[in-house]
Amino acid sequence: MSALRPSRTTSDTGTGRAIGGGPASTRPAARPKLWISRVALAGMVAPAGFFAVMMVLGLVTPGYDWVARYGSELSLGRLGWIMIANFIALGVAELALAAALGRTIGDRVSGRVATTAVGILGAAFVVAGICVTDPATLVTSARTWHGMVHALMAAVIFFIATPVAALATARRCRGQRRFAGYCALTAVATPALLVATFNSGSLLGLTERIVIAVVLAWLTTVALQLRRGNLTTH
């Protein structure tokens, strides 16, 4: 009779866990959680690092007035390579964050939209670092092809990617009212503040840093929510 009994050495068909719940049953699930946690930590650190580097460079770059000039202009000159690397590092961190978000909130349309938009934002930061700006560049006043691309990437980040990502995240996480409300506020404030920047005159650099801080704070908050396990597929 014992030969007719089904084997109990295979995994449980309902849960995918080995009988007895031994260590081998938890290993496959632990790896992505650890990876996501590490990516989320990088997503929390990178925005603050970007802003700190931008502010320090603004203070030590000769002849640069951070209150009146764009942060992107720090990519020009002797210390420009630092700001270029700063853009690229932030972009890579946000691309990784997008991948992690896809593993957690990518089960629904709103989550996939948010994930895609964060990925576009990260890619735009990378391209903005590679394609250096022209001095005091707007989309309509760029003088070189790379200055035009840089300005277009700024438009993508502030007018498209961030608002779409924030609104989609608000929709996906609508059960968390405070967080969803914060996301919706970010989606509205980001393009509005950038428009205000274009009309801020001698305070252009200061107002631009405000809108950059708004975007970076939102990205940090998303990464924090992810690391705490508040963004789930349920």
Whole-angstrom distance, CA of residue 105 vs CA of residue 118: 12
Phi, psi of 124 (to 5 degrees): -65, -40
Whole-angstrom distance, CA of residue 72 vs CA of residue 87: 9
Contacts of residue 228, Cβ cutoff 8 Å, sequence gap at least 6? none
For the chain, how many residues are written? Answer: 234
Reported as a single tens digit per residue, the pLDDT across 11-70 is 344 444 433 444 443 334 333 478 899 999 999 999 999 999 999 999 999 999 999 999
pLDDT of residue 229: 87
Return the higher-pLDDT residue of 107 and 119.
Answer: 119
**Interior angle at CA 209, CA 154 and CA 102, nearest 5:** 55
| pLDDT (mean) for 114-137 | 93
pLDDT of residue 97: 97
Whole-angstrom distance, CA of residue 139 vs CA of residue 147: 8
Element (H, E) at 31: helix 23-60
pLDDT of residue 164: 98
Inter-residue contact 162 to 121 (CB < 8 Å): yes
**How many other C-beta atoms lie within 10 A of the C-beta of residue 55?**
14
Model pTM greater than 0.85? no
**Interior angle at CA 163, CA 46 and CA 89, nearest 5:** 20
Write down the domain spans for the chain: 41-224
Euclidean distance between the first and the last CA atom of the chain, given in angstroms as a whole number: 44
| pLDDT (mean) for 169-180 | 94
Return the higher-pLDDT residue of 232 and 127.
Answer: 127
**Does 119 have pLDDT greater than 90?**
yes
C-alpha 196: how far from chain center = 23
| pLDDT (mean) for 119-124 | 98
| pLDDT (mean) for 203-222 | 96
**Does 184 have pLDDT greater than 60?**
yes
**Does 148 have pLDDT greater than 70?**
yes
Element (H, E) at 125: helix 109-130
Look at residues 10, 31, 49, 7 and name the one whose alpha carbon lies nearest to residue 220.
49
pLDDT of residue 31: 39
According to DSSP H, which parts of 61-176 are helical?
A: 80-104, 109-130, 145-155, 162-172
Whole-angstrom distance, CA of residue 82 vs CA of residue 88: 10
Average pLDDT over the chain reads: 86
